[in-house]
Amino acid sequence: MKKVEAIIKPFKLEDVREALSEVGITGMTATEVKGFGRQKGHTELYRGAEYVVDFLPKVKLELVVASDQVAACIEAITNAARTGKIGDGKIFVTPVEQVIRIRTGEEDEAAI
C-alpha cells in the first residue's frame, strides 16, 4: 500500500476528484493549505497599498491506495491538475505499513 499526497490548485479539486473516481479511487481527504515553492508568492494591491502574499492557497489531497493502483492514481491527478503554469503542484508517494478500519477492524487493503 502507498500513501499519495498531492498539492494542487484549489480550482482543480473537482476535476481531480472526478478523474480519480474514473480510475476506481473513491476515498480521499482534502485539506485547504497554504504554501509556496518556486512561485515565491506574488504582489497584490489592497486599498492602494502593495503587499506580498507569500503563502498561496492550495489543496492537499491524501489517499491510501493499493500498490497496483499508484500509477493510475498519479496519472489521473497529473492529467486533471495540470494547467501548464507555475504552481500546478507536486505529488508525493510514501509506503504505508498498516491500515485499520476503526468501525469493522478490517486491516490493510480490506480497510482501504
Q: What is the pLDDT of residue 39?
A: 62
Residue partners of 27: CB distance under 8 A and separation at least 6: 63, 64, 112
pLDDT, tens only, 62-92: 999 999 999 999 999 999 999 998 889 999 9
Q: What is the pLDDT of residue 96?
A: 96
Residue partners of 45: CB distance under 8 A and separation at least 6: none
Q: What is the pLDDT of residue 56?
A: 84
Q: What is the pLDDT of residue 86?
A: 84
Apex 93 CA angle, 60 and 64, nearest 5: 70
Q: What is the pLDDT of residue 15?
A: 97
Whole-prediction pTM: 0.85
Domains and CATH numbers, the chain: 2-110 (3.30.70.120)
pLDDT, tens only, 24-66: 998 999 999 998 777 666 666 667 777 676 778 999 999 999 9
